[in-house]
Amino acid sequence: MNTITAAITAVGAYVPDFVLSNQVLETLVDTNDEWITSRTGIKERRMLKDDSKGTSYLAIKAAEDLIAKSNIDPAEIDLVLLGTTTPDMPVAATAVYVASKIGAVNAFAYDLQAACSSFLFGMSTASAYIESGRYKKILLIGADKMSSIIDYTDRATCIIFGDGAGAVLFEPNYEGLGFQNEILRSDGIGREFLKIDAGGSLLPATHETVDKKQHYVFQDGKTVFKYAVSGMADVSEKIMQRNNLKQEDVNWLIAHQANKRIIDATANRMGVDESKVLVNIQKYGNTTSATLPLLLNDFEKQFKKGDNLIFAAFGGGFTWGSIYMKWAYDKQ
Q: Whole-angstrom Cα distance, residue 156 to residue 153?
A: 9
User: 306: alpha, beta or left, given left = phi > 0 and alpha = psi -120 to 50?
Assistant: left
Do β-strands 5-14 and 18-21 pair in parallel, antiparallel, or remain unpaired?
unpaired
Helices (H), 132-168: 155-158
Catalytic-labelled residue, pool 116, 173, 259, 297: 116
Cβ neighbours of residue 49 closer than 8 Å, sequence gap 6 or more? 16, 18
Residue 158 is among the residues annotated as catalytic for this protein:
no
Q: What is the DSSP letter of 231?
A: H
Of all helices (H) and strands (E), which one includes residue 214?
A: none
- Choose, from 173, 259, 286, 297, the residue flagged as catalytic: 286
Indicate the helix (H) or strand (E) that contains 67: helix 55-70
Strands ordered across the beta sheet of 138-145: 5-14, 163-173, 138-145, 79-83, 108-112
Catalytic member of 158, 256, 259, 297:
256
Helix (H, G, I), strand (E, B) or coil at 322: strand
Angle at 56 between CA 22 and CA 9, to 5 degrees: 90
138 φ/ψ angles, rounded to the nearest 5 degrees: -125, 125
DSSP letters spanning 75-102: GG--EEEEE-SS-SSSSS-HHHHHHHHT
Burial string for 37-67 (b: 16+ CB within 10 Å, else e) reads eebbbbbbbbbbeeeebbbbbbbbbbbbbbb
Tell me the C-alpha distance between 305 and 310, whole Å.
Answer: 15
The closest alpha carbon to 319, from 242, 250, 256, belongs to 256
Structural contact between residues 112 and 87, judged by C-beta atoms closer than 8 angstroms:
no
Query: Known catalytic residues?
Result: 116, 256, 286
